Structure 1
Amino acid sequence: MTFPFRNAVLTGACGGLGQALARELIARGAAVALVGLNRPVLDELAALASERCTVYTPDVADAAAMQACARDWMVRHGVPDLLIANAGVAGGFDTAQADDLAVMRRMLEINLLGVATTFQPHLTAMRAQGRGALVAVASIAGWRGMPGNGAYCASKGGLIRYLESLRAELRGTGLSVHTVSPGYLRTALTAGNHFAMPGLMAPEDAARRLLAGVARGREHIVLPRRIGWLSRALSLLPVSWHDHLLLNQPRKPRMGEAGATAIPGLRVSDPPSSQPRR
């Protein structure tokens, strides 16, 4: 199949999946706006095709900054036909800890609001163009809440519902909306996990499957598919059984705990306290 996209905007381009997506898009001849926070990594990616790539380093939750990036990109390369909102953060969450409220706020800003701020400044031009794909990376974690992971699950669950709404709004416009639900990918976001990760997938494999699914017009893409089947099978259990199974699993590390991943832009007065979990 000929790759149908020639002009792509990619957020979270310096993460594990983001770098894999960037390399695939560049290899397939697309012009790529590389959006992220790690400038050296983005510059290294851009050097693969400097005439087709531009680096941007905004906070994806900053609407004005994202609008400025979009204007600059469209002046340089025209209207995109592929938007991939991939920027995301993860971390454990404990409602009893006051500092974790800042973690939830920031996670919602990046994982949920950041998708809307990625799509919004391009949408009018893409509708006028009459074609294009809007892709957002959600998660299997958005299908059901998991103990100790409430902030992440809420952000991804909210994202899935937002994408459902946007998909309905854009029917008949020539634009498509694609929800990507990965299970576990071998990236920095999962490196600190101390629990079983069935179906653990390399980001390069995930990137290829993601782009192939979007090119084929699949609106719901699960990576890998078997983790989606497993999740659906577990959902058939009585809720109390499902909760009991999850409660026995180790929790994702909270900020300040060993194995926790950094959350850019997080503002708390002190690192969240580490207290024994009951």
Structure 2
Amino acid sequence: MRDLTRVPGEAPPLVFITGASSGIGQALAQRYAQAGWRLALVARRGALMREWATAQSWPAHQWAVYEADVRHEAEVAEAARACLQAQGLPEVVIANAGISVGVDLSLAEDLAVLRDLLDTNVIGLAATFQPFIEGMRTRRRGTLVGIASVASVRGLPGHAGYCAAKGAVVQLCETLRGELRPHGVRVVTLAPGYIDTPLTRENDYPMPFLMTPEAFAERAFRSISAGERWRVIPWQMGVVATVLRWLPRGWFDALVGSQRHRKKRRRDGV
């Protein structure tokens, strides 16, 4: 990350993380706390988030919890306003909150499921970034981080909503990167593979290169610090993603068409 050298007495840098009550978000909070950063932690389950943060024995001045559901723009805006007022403008904003659920587009009721996926994973990400963009642009420094997925690379049967949502995250972040780079603001897109979180533990299919949230957070911290534009974590899944991206459509269709797929119930995570 660019030089964040502080004058004596200046507060440590601040990171704003949504979906911080479990999985990747929680692991990222721990990694940034370990590095001495101040934390603005956003979650729907505010009481649970506070209980967990208190148990970490962090100094009281190092962290704050804001309760918000990213599907509701007003709640996210209020959390951001409270953060700006109490803690200041973040150096890094990580839009991590997301859900995964199977979608069957032959079912009329699944259109509502699709909408929920897009509201959470895409509109929620935009609503998380929006309150901080102008301040970062004026300051000419800051980093916005979008958590996408390897599932953004190609459309997978049974996962129309999730693949579409994470694909939109990638394109949204890429667009913002071009818009904000002249103003000194970085945009980083991270694409996790399989991470051992509540989101993945009920999967009934093989999950190659499965990694712990802590291992992901360590690699993510380094990528964000370096201001990398795009990073698949772990790197092995990056190879898989590259192969899938360039696989001819006929071959890809034959490959995924041979797999069994089931509709998953909603699970929070990324």
1:173 is aligned to 2:183: yes
Partner of 2:28: 21
Deviates more, 1:123-132 or 1:83-92: 123-132
The higher-RCO structure (CA 8 Å, 6+ apart) is 2
Decide which of 196, 216, 223 is 1:206's aligned counterpart: 216
Partner of 2:63: 53
Partner of 1:42: 49
2-side partners of 1:175 and 1:2: how far apart? 11
Look up the equivalent residue of 1:14 and give its one-letter code.
S
Which digits, 9 at most, give the CA deviation of each residue in 1:177-224, with x for residues without a partner? 000011111111111211121111111000010010110121111100
The Cα of 1:226 is off from its aligned counterpart by: 1.2
Look up the equivalent residue of 2:75 and give its one-letter code.
A
Look up the equivalent residue of 1:261 and give its one-letter code.
R
Q: 1:39 to 1:69 in 2, by over 3 A?
A: closer
2-side partners of 1:199 and 1:168: how far apart? 32
1-side partners of 2:100 and 2:32: how far apart? 25
1:107 is aligned to 2:143: no
Q: What are the residue-to-residue correspondences of 1:69-218 with 2, within 5 Å? A: 69-218=79-228
TM-score when normalising by structure 2: 0.90
Partner of 1:6: 13
Decide which of 58, 74, 77 is 1:64's aligned counterpart: 74
TM-score when normalising by structure 1: 0.88
Q: Percent identity?
A: 38
1-side partners of 2:21 and 2:47: how far apart? 9
2-side partners of 1:28 and 1:105: how far apart? 37
1-side partners of 2:91 and 2:211: how far apart? 27
Q: 1:204 to 1:252 in 2, by over 3 A?
A: farther
| Alpha-carbon contact 1:140-1:181 (below 8 Å) kept | yes
- 5+ residue gaps, structure 1: 264-278
The Cα of 1:109 is off from its aligned counterpart by: 0.4
For 1:102, what is the secondary structure of its paired residue? helix
| Alpha-carbon contact 2:198-2:268 (below 8 Å) kept | no
Q: Which runs of 4+ in 1 moved over 4 A?
A: 1-5
1-side partners of 2:223 and 2:148: how far apart? 15
| Alpha-carbon contact 2:153-2:244 (below 8 Å) kept | no
Aligned residues: 259
2-side partners of 1:189 and 1:42: how far apart? 18
Which digits, 9 at most, give the CA deviation of each residue in 1:68-126, with x for residues without a partner? 11111111111111000000100111101122111110010010001110010111111
The Cα of 1:252 is off from its aligned counterpart by: 4.8
Look up the equivalent residue of 2:110 and give its one-letter code.
D
| Alpha-carbon contact 1:148-1:252 (below 8 Å) kept | yes
Q: 1:173 to 1:235 in 2, by over 3 A?
A: closer
Deviates more, 1:101-110 or 1:191-200: 191-200
- 5+ residue gaps, structure 2: 5-11
Look up the equivalent residue of 1:36 and give its one-letter code.
A
RMSD: 1.9
For 1:154, what is the secondary structure of its paired residue? helix
For 1:172, what is the secondary structure of its paired residue? helix
| Alpha-carbon contact 2:187-2:227 (below 8 Å) kept | no
1:243 is aligned to 2:253: yes
Q: 1:262 to 1:171 in 2, by over 3 A?
A: closer
1:261 is aligned to 2:258: no
Q: 1:101 to 1:185 in 2, by over 3 A?
A: same
The Cα of 1:262 is off from its aligned counterpart by: 5.9
2-side partners of 1:247 and 1:201: how far apart? 27
The Cα of 1:45 is off from its aligned counterpart by: 3.7
